Amino acid sequence: MDDELWALEQFERHRGRLRAVAYRMLGSLTEADDALQETWLRLSRSQADDLTNVAGWLTTVVGRVCIDMLRSRQARREDYVGTWLPEPIVGASPSSAPEQESVLVDAVGLALLVVLEHLTPSERLAFVLHDMFGVPFDEIAPMLDRTPEAARQLASRARRRVRGVAVPDPDLSRQRAAVDAFLAAARAGDFERLVAMLHPDVVFRVDGGGKVRRGPALLTGAVAVAEQAAAQGPRFARLCRPAVVNGGAGLLVDGPRGPIGAAGMTVVDGLIVEIDLVLDPDKLRSVAAAEQRGESDG
């Protein structure tokens, strides 16, 4: 019983960090929680006397579990219909969901997670653990069955791929102002105002998971995105309300029975450079659950 209590205390102490690692590795809270469950099972079967560095051991285990899950998912991804986007983390404010604080505060934006999805599992692990969590390469190397130098090279390759990701304005209020202006223009169907709020090379992705189809899955360029927003906005944008999506300004789309969409918006220098709209109901379950908890608490 003492060993079980010790294991539980250790796991709960590190749960937040482990969940943040798993979410950045997998881009899904649902899968991150599955990875944590497997990590807990392995800890519960271990002997306390064998663990001299619990935090390092847990990070190693969750990293390896995520690697296995990514490799399995890559085989299934070939059958995915349309554009794939990560599972969003949504809150009215960065502190509105205490149980998600470790992944919402200083969260990774959807745009970066999309790029991470194109890395190999080994590159992703090396980059996430070293660049995001400061884990030394000599600790990462055994997870990958590589030398520390090889792990360093994996992270370097990943870094080059990530370098082109737009860095959003650090001021959330300025992000919010741009998103609010875009939403107002969309509701009015004002094409000219929409173009003015969009970067010339803006990218608009929509992930319906093969279950929901609402316009093209991918649009690029201010004119194409503004045309779509002006056509659909007077009806669709009226369902939207401001939210914090993965730590940045975004939108939540309300349906009669709860959220039916969540959009992450990447804002740079007052212009929207990327819109990532998640409509897949499977990826919105945690959002709907958080909304229900908020309503019951209120």
Cα 179-180-182 angle, rounded to 5 deg: 65
Structure confidence at residue 59 (pLDDT)? 94
| Entry pTM | 0.86
**Cβ atoms of residues 207 and 278 within 8 Å:** yes
* Beta carbons within 8 Å of 277's beta carbon, 6+ residues apart: 85, 204, 205, 206, 207, 261, 262, 263
Which residues of the chain carry a pLDDT beneath 50?
A: 1, 93-106, 296, 298
Express each pLDDT in 112-155 by its tens digit: 999 999 999 999 999 999 999 999 999 999 999 999 999 999 99
Structure confidence at residue 48 (pLDDT)? 63
Structure confidence at residue 162 (pLDDT)? 92
β-strands 198-207, 90-91 pairing: unpaired
Contacts 24+ apart (CB under 8 A), 227-235: 227/191, 228/204, 229/182, 229/185, 229/186, 229/194, 230/186, 230/189, 230/190, 230/191, 230/194, 231/189, 232/186, 233/185, 233/186, 233/187, 233/188, 233/189, 233/194, 234/186, 234/187, 234/188, 234/189
Structure confidence at residue 77 (pLDDT)? 64
Residue 96 CA to residue 186 CA, distance in Å, equals 27
User: Could you count the other beta carbons within 10 Å of the beta carbon of residue 11?
Assistant: 17
Please report the domains of the chain, with CATH numbers, ordered by start residue: 2-86+110-162 (1.20.140.160), 172-297 (3.10.450.50)
